[in-house]
Amino acid sequence: MTSSKLSAELTSIVRDKLEMGSKEPINVKVLLEKEAVLEKVTLELEAKGLRINNVEEGPNVVITGALEVQNVPAINSVSEVDKIEYDRSY
């Protein structure tokens, strides 16, 4: 799995859940690049399995949501995503 955009904590959680065969959703926080087009990115993230809970707009756009562990690598491939972290707030 490419982990360039995944935080170390999320990488570890994903690896552990995949090894256990868990299909339990993981809560994530997706930080977008400054030039990202929000509508395009949200559609692409949803198409890759992210169930969006909240979008915080501002200088730093943060999207929170949940997705099944096997779909984490898919959202890692979205070009406008800067970083993906585990979201502890849920």
pLDDT (mean) for 41-67 = 95
Q: What is the pTM assigned to this prediction?
A: 0.89
Q: What is the set of domains in the chain, with CATH numbers?
A: 8-86 (3.30.70.80)
Measured in whole angstroms, the distance separating CA 18 from the mean position of its chain's CA atoms is 16
Between the CA of residue 85 and those of 18, 55, 68, what are the distances in Å? 17, 15, 14
Position 66 scores a pLDDT of 97
**Mean pLDDT over residues 22-43, rounded?**
93
- How many CB atoms lie under 10 A from the CB of residue 17? 18
**What confidence score (pLDDT) does residue 13 get?**
93
Please check the confidence at residue 90 and state whether its pLDDT lies above 90. no
Q: Are 38 and 32 in contact, with CB atoms under 8 Å apart?
A: yes
Question: What is the average pLDDT value for the chain, to the nearest integer?
Answer: 91
